[in-house]
Amino acid sequence: MTFRLYNSLSDKKEDFVPLREGQVTLYVCGPTVYSDSHLGHAKTYVSFDVILRYLKYRGLKPFYVQNITDVGHLVGDADEGEDKLLKRAREVEQEPMAVAETYTTRHFQAMDQMGVIRPDICPRATGHIPEQLEAIEKLISSGLAYEINGSVYFDVSQDPKYGELSNRSFEEMQEGTRVEVRQEKRNPQDFALWKKADPGHLMRWRDPYSGWGYPGWHTECTVMSTRYLGDRFDIHGGGMDLKFPHHDCEISQARGLGKAFANYWMHNNMLTIEGQKMSKSTGNFVTLIDAFGQYDPLAVRYFIAASHYRSVVDYSENALKAAGTSLKRLHQTVRTLREKKPLDQKPSGKWFKEFRNRFESSMDDDFSTPQAFAALFDLNREVNSMLASEDPNPEAMADAEQLFSVLGGEVLGIIPEKIESEISDQRLNEVMQVMIELRNQFRQNKDFKGSDMIRDRLGDIGISLKDSKEGTQWE
Ligand code: ZN
């Protein structure tokens, strides 16, 4: 078994060789929990979910850590803005930790709806302050960081390899930092490891510098990934926008702490909305809760998973509708297979092998989901023509059903074990007319127990009946 993945650090596709045979350790940067997760989060976590599921399919036992950022991520991602959590907490007049709790829960609920498998551990930044302070102490004592006015900064001039992941020149780094030059830093590129907290700052911890402070954003990931996965682990992932400065900072800190860190870096590309960068300030922005109000969460998952994780995906009404239609086509075939296949028919693995091979060779090549989906749809066509024949082979049906369940279900996560059958509105109305007639019959016979039972049972499933002179209406 060999498969190749694109390592952002070397900018090349490389054979994946896990550190420990049969296992894979994976860290993906998690959300900053100050507002509802949006489509950009879906792009990241669905992409890595498919990767994780395929690693499992290939026989590797994954250990997956994804952090929760609940302190230290400042507005504007620079070292001077207000903490995103604190800002939100002030706006809604809540405890910052209550805000974090609310949005952590809502984030995972949205991910569950899309079938994203939860990480094995979701460590929180606020739960790992002593470890961060310990790392900061080490960086200071090895001369890589310095304390000034109660804050601590990483001295990037001490790490000649700083910026190696994003391949940024020194000039480019200066570009990005010019606006927020802070006098107390030695170089404008230096990044905060620890910030002095003003009196009254809600989220602060005891420190040996000015007495009270809070961590910078980049330290938590270096500390928490290595705490749970070891000083060296297999894959570190995240969105492309995190490459610089976040991931470059993580790498420099780990190097400074003498940790070998991640062997492979993987970055998913961005999601745009109708060709435009998603942005809260321009209103070009869709939360997952809003998206799910319009589309099946599995259609959103399908839409993201069907494009390559390293490609930009463009969200639009038409694209989502098309995804929903394609998904239904697959579901329809699988439903028919499950209905027609004799219950006791076991799969033999003899049929449709070429589709499994195509699927695997696509996924083995840096998780090329577009080709994998194409293989699945070619299988779909083949299976449908078989189902249209007079006497479909039971063994072939069992094999096809298994392929859909494994490749489409276990790996891509778009074919659930139970596919809800859809009743059209018209059909439902016809059924309801039968129920109403039945109830009227009971009432005419003065069997009120019977008529009440119909009304109550319908009420239990959310259908109410309204009687008027014109007859009975339902809603
Ligand atoms: Zn991170």
181: pLDDT strictly greater than 60 = no
User: 132 CA to middle of ligand 1, Å?
Assistant: 14
Residue 83 CA, ligand 1 centroid: distance in Å: 16
Give the pair of three-digit tokens for residue 28.
């993906």
pLDDT of residue 77: 52
Q: Is 239 a residue whose pLDDT tops 80?
A: yes
> Distance, CA 395 to ligand 1 centroid (Å)?
48
Return the residue matching tokens 């910052």. Answer: 96
Q: What is the pLDDT of residue 170?
A: 67
How many angstroms does the Cα of residue 238 sit away from the middle of ligand 1?
Answer: 7
Q: State in Å: Cα 336 to ligand 1 middle.
A: 44
Taking the centre of ligand 1 as the mean of its atom positions, its distance from the CA of residue 225, in whole angstroms, is 9
Q: For the chain, what percent of residues have pLDDT higher than 90?
A: 80
247 C-alpha vs ligand 1 centroid, how far in Å? 7
pLDDT at 365: 98
Give residue 220 CA to ligand 1 midpoint distance, Å. Answer: 7
CA of 68 to the centre of ligand 1 (A): 9
Answer whether residue 182 shows pLDDT above 60.
no
Q: The tokens 């860190």 sit on which residue? A: 261
Band of pLDDT at residue 112, cut at 50, 70 and 90: very high
Distance 239 CA to ligand 1 centre (A): 10
pTM value surpassing 0.85: yes
What does 165-214 look like in DSSP terms, one character per residue? Answer: TTT--HHHHHHHHGGG--TTSSSTT-EEEEEEPPTT-SS-EE-SSSSEEE
Dist. CA 391–CA 44, nearest whole Å:
44
What is the 333 CA–ligand 1 centroid distance (Å)? Answer: 41
Average pLDDT over residues 449-453: 91
How much is the pLDDT for 423?
Answer: 66
CA 240–ligand 1 middle distance (angstroms): 12
How far is the centre of ligand 1, averaged over its atoms, from the C-alpha of 73 (Å)?
10
Dist. CA 459 → ligand 1 center (Å):
48
CA–centroid distance, 347 to ligand 1, in Å, is 43
Q: How far is the CA of 262 from the centre of ligand 1 (A)?
A: 12
Please give the distance, rounded to the nearest whole angstrom, from the Cα atom of residue 48 to the centre of ligand 1: 14
| Joined tokens for residue 432 | 């309801």
pLDDT in tens, 16-68: 999 999 999 999 999 999 999 999 999 999 999 999 999 999 999 999 999 99
Separation of CA 309 and ligand 1 centre (Å): 18
Look-up of token digits 């435009």: 276
Window from 140-149, 219-228, 456-465 with minimum mean pLDDT: 456-465
Determine the pLDDT at residue 175.
62
**Ligand 1 center to 320 CA (angstroms):** 30
Using alpha carbons, list the distances in angstroms from residue 180 to 79, 162, 215: 8, 19, 19
Q: What are phi and psi of 145, to 5 degrees?
A: -135, 155
Rounded distance from Cα 218 to ligand 1 centre (Å): 6
Residue 29 Cα to ligand 1 middle (Å): 4
Q: What is the whole-number distance in angstroms between the Cα of residue 322 and the centre of ligand 1?
A: 34
**Taking residues 401-406, what's their average pLDDT?**
98
Give the distance (Å) from ligand 1 centre to CA of residue 233: 15
Average of pLDDT values for 146-164?
Answer: 95
Give 25 Cα–ligand 1 centroid separation in angstroms.
15
The amino acid at 317 = E
Ligand 1 center to 33 CA (angstroms) = 13
Nearest partner of 9 among 261, 271, 270, judged by Cα: 261
Q: How far is the CA of 226 from the centre of ligand 1 (A)?
A: 12
pLDDT higher than threshold 90 for residue 309: yes
> Please, what is the average pLDDT of the chain?
93
In this predicted structure, the answer to whether residue 171 has a pLDDT above a threshold of 80 is: no
For ligand 1, the distance from its centroid to the CA atom of residue 44, given in whole angstroms, is 13
Rounded Cα–Cα distance for residues 324 and 327 (Å) = 5
301 Cα: distance to centroid of ligand 1 (angstroms)? 23
CA of 69 relative to ligand 1 center, distance in Å: 8
Each residue's pLDDT tens digit, 247-287: 999 999 999 999 999 999 999 999 999 999 988 778 888 99
The residue with greater pLDDT, 139 or 183, is 139
Q: Is 179's pLDDT higher than 60? A: no
161-172: b (≥16 Cβ within 10 Å) or e? ebbebbebeeee
Residue 96 Cα to ligand 1 middle (Å)? 20
Distance between CA 312 and CA 303 in Å, rounded?
Answer: 12
Of 465, 412, 344, 418, the residue nearest 115 (C-alpha): 412
